[in-house]
Structure 1
Amino acid sequence: MYPPSGPTFKGNIPTYVINLDLPPSRRWDDLMRDKKTELKTVVQNIKDIANTFFPSGKVVDIVDNKIAHLTATLPYPFNEELQGIANSSGIPLGEIVIFNIFYEIFTVCTSIVAEDKTGKLYHARNLDFGLFLGWDVKNNSWTLTRELKPLVVLLDFQRNNKTVFKSTNFAGYIGMVSGVKPNLFTLTMNERFSLDGGYVGIFEWFLGRRDGMWMGFLTRTVLENATSYQDAKDRLAKTRLLAPAYFILGGKNSGEGCVITRSRTAALDIWDLDIKKGTWYVVETNYDRWKPPQSLCSIS
């Protein structure tokens, strides 16, 4: 139910303006001032999980001392925004980068676009982040999921004091998992599991092959720059990626809704709304629609 209520409700989700007219390194200062403590908690949780699998501490050492140097290889303005978040939060740059990479390889979610009999469009999604990462036996929940909740924020990206797009996101993450470009389109992204997955693209990036785009950066670029539903659809279908993905896109007119199934290099399938053929909704979890549901997806 919305608006939320009940014993677990802690208050309304805060809204922050991200001023695109500011230098990239300053855009997230206000948000980090309020959320740096919560972000440090999540980053520490990720480090603790890494140390569980690699007790030597070498992985965390690599993150703190090696990954930070790769920030310079990321496209502008994202490289400078990450550095700015590290500066304003006091969290090492390498750990901020890893926090952002995390969502390239672990966005287990569900999205749906539907059209009712009057032609009105609906776009909804959930945020299943943190699954399988640290089990809290006392509360019967995933620790990272619980610790991510205080980082949920509403973002209003503005230029010249006017809204360019809006997003529900996690503080500290500069890509976009969901967003709305007012009066044009809505967009969400989901993880697509594949042997040629996000890990491969990320390792290629580390090794010097950098012709693919981070999917969170692509969604943000599309939200900021696309001028129509069709423009957004084309960009999402054709841009080379680091990781396979599902992009779920909604528009403002009847029939404008689709799921774009992506490999790292091409669109494998575009599933459109088609009211005349009875397709009044399209829904995506984390498996290809032409394949049997995965066991986890079948109960989600």
Structure 2
Amino acid sequence: MEWTVVLLLLPLLGPPCRAQVAPPTVSISLDEEPEERWKPLLKVFDVAYLNKAAAAIIDSTVPKWVHHLIVPIVNSLEKYIPPPYAGEIRGLASHFGGNLTDIVILNFAYEVSAFCTSIITQDKSGNIYHGRNLDYPHPVLRNMTLNVIFMKNGKMAYQGTTFAGYVGLWTGQSPKKITISGDQRGTEHWWNWWKNVASALLVHASPVSWLVRETLEEAEDFQDAVIRLSKTPLITGVYYIVGGVRPGEGVIITRDRKGPVDIWPLDPMYDGWFRVETNFDHWLPPPPSDHRRQVANDALKSIGQKRINSYSLYQVLTLSPVCNRGTIYSTVMSAKSAEKYMTVVWPKGCRYTNNTDSLLTVQGAQTFH
């Protein structure tokens, strides 16, 4: 109810913004065989549309030579792709009536160009709040975004936000345990990235989004999650942003393929009550044209630790250029209060007209807490 009120009042609080919408929610049973798990998508999405959208994403993202490279992987799927993902990908191809090669390619295509902003914060009472914007160069993904609740033994095991046809997660939480988001590290050219993916599959390195999902499902607590996300070999560099349920349980992990480059935890005792990560190493300046980090930092300082909460954090995520024309969705979550997990989709992206007015909106948002 509180979030409904906030969303209704947002147009009155600040400069004009394209309307936000809630994505559909689908329950996936982990007790089902992997090939059958994603069948509930058929009740929510039009199959013909999804196939058309997937083809557009593949054509605009994946070089033609990759199609030939993927063929041996598809022919021996279980050899290259671990369970349960091989079975889930086979099931998606069956449910959508599509080509198995295309579904495999689509899942790796989503690993490219995930330009994002993630923020982890702690209030004065020690509560951890985690927000993220996910930006992609594929506007069609706005119509493919969904919340997924992964069920096990009749109970929620974990949940997240993803895209139809994609078995990985860039955003998610395990109730009463952890929240995780992933941001692409740097701006590697796609042709180099695909070469790295091809070679990494041969040594069974994990796609970054699969590791998020595995950690949400298997990690016992915050510390366990940080270890898993730090040490597991990956196909490419990434930033993992992790939140827990206890004071101080917040960290940004800067990864290369082999392991951690840097671990940047919350440090509330010395005014480090928030951390902001975009797509560049936090100890280096971002490109002159990218102001997301500075705007988010300034807004959080303006709010202050006493007034940070889920709603004010959401307002920071809506600021330009933190939220921009490429933003697909925004999520705010807190593992301690898992019922408040919220994602909104931006059908046309974010288009604010005045940053100063937006900052004033953030400062005034506390009245709705």
Q: Could you say whether these structures have the same fold, taking a TM-score greater than 0.5 normalized by the shorter chain as the test?
A: yes
In structure 1, distance between residues paired with 2:100 and 2:51: 12
Q: Give me the identity figure in percent.
A: 33
Task: Determine the C-alpha separation between the residues in 2 that align with 1:33 and 1:67.
Answer: 30
Which region of structure 1 is more displaced relative to structure 2, 33-42 or 287-296? 33-42
| Residue deviations 1:151-195 (CA, integer Å, cap 9, x gap) | 111111011110000101111111111101001110000101266
- Compare 187-196 and 113-122 and name the one that shifted more: 187-196
Of 56, 71, 79, which aligns to 2:77? 71
| TM-score using structure 2 length | 0.69
C-alpha change, 1:213 and 1:12, in structure 2 (3 Å) is closer
Describe the superposition over 1:226-282 as per-residue Cα deviations: whole angstroms up to 9, x where unpaired: 010000000001111111110000011111100000000010100000111110101
Identify the match of residue 205 of structure 1 among 166, 189, 200.
Answer: 200
- Report if aligned partners of 2:58, 2:109 keep a CA contact under 8 Å in 1: no
Quick one: which of 9, 21, 26 aligns to 2:31? 21
Q: What is the aligned partner in structure 2 of residue 42 from structure 1?
A: 53
Number of equivalent positions: 279
> Residues 194, 128 of structure 1: CA spacing in aligned structure 2 closer, same or farther, 3 A cutoff?
closer
| Residue of structure 1 in register with 2:147 after alignment | 154
Instruction: State the 1:37 CA deviation.
Output: 3.2
> Which residue identity does 2:144 align to in structure 1?
L
Aligned partner (choices 140, 148, 160) of residue 167 of structure 1:
160
Unaligned regions of 5+ residues in structure 1, if any?
131-143
1:286 Cα deviation after fit: 0.2
Which has the higher mean CA deviation after the structures are superposed, 96-105 or 242-251?
A: 96-105
Q: Quote the Cα distance in structure 1 between the aligned partners of 2:200 and 2:256.
A: 16
Counterpart of 2:77 in structure 1: which amino acid? T
Q: Is the Cα–Cα contact under 8 Å of residues 120 and 241 in structure 2 kept in the other structure?
A: yes
TM-score normalised according to structure 1 size: 0.85
SS at match of 1:290: coil
Q: Which runs of 5+ in 2 are unaligned?
A: 12-16, 293-320, 322-369
The superposition leaves residues 29-86 of structure 1 with CA deviations (integer Å, 9 ceiling, x where unpaired) of 11145323332132121244269xx7xxx54863785563353310011011001000
Q: 1:215 aligns with which of 208, 218, 221?
A: 208
Aligned equivalents of 1:3, 1:59: Cα separation in 2? 45
Aligned residues of 1:63 and 1:95 also touching (Cα < 8 A): no
CA distance in 1, matches of 2:206, 2:67: 26
Matched, 1:12 2:22: yes
Pick the structure with more helix per residue: 2
Highest RCO, 1 vs 2 (Cα 8 Å, sep ≥ 6): 2
Shift of residue 291, structure 1, vs aligned partner: 1.2
Match 1:102 to one of 96, 109, 132:
109
Tell whether 2:243 aligns with 1:232: no
State the alpha-carbon separation in 1 of the partners of residues 66 and 284 from structure 2: 38
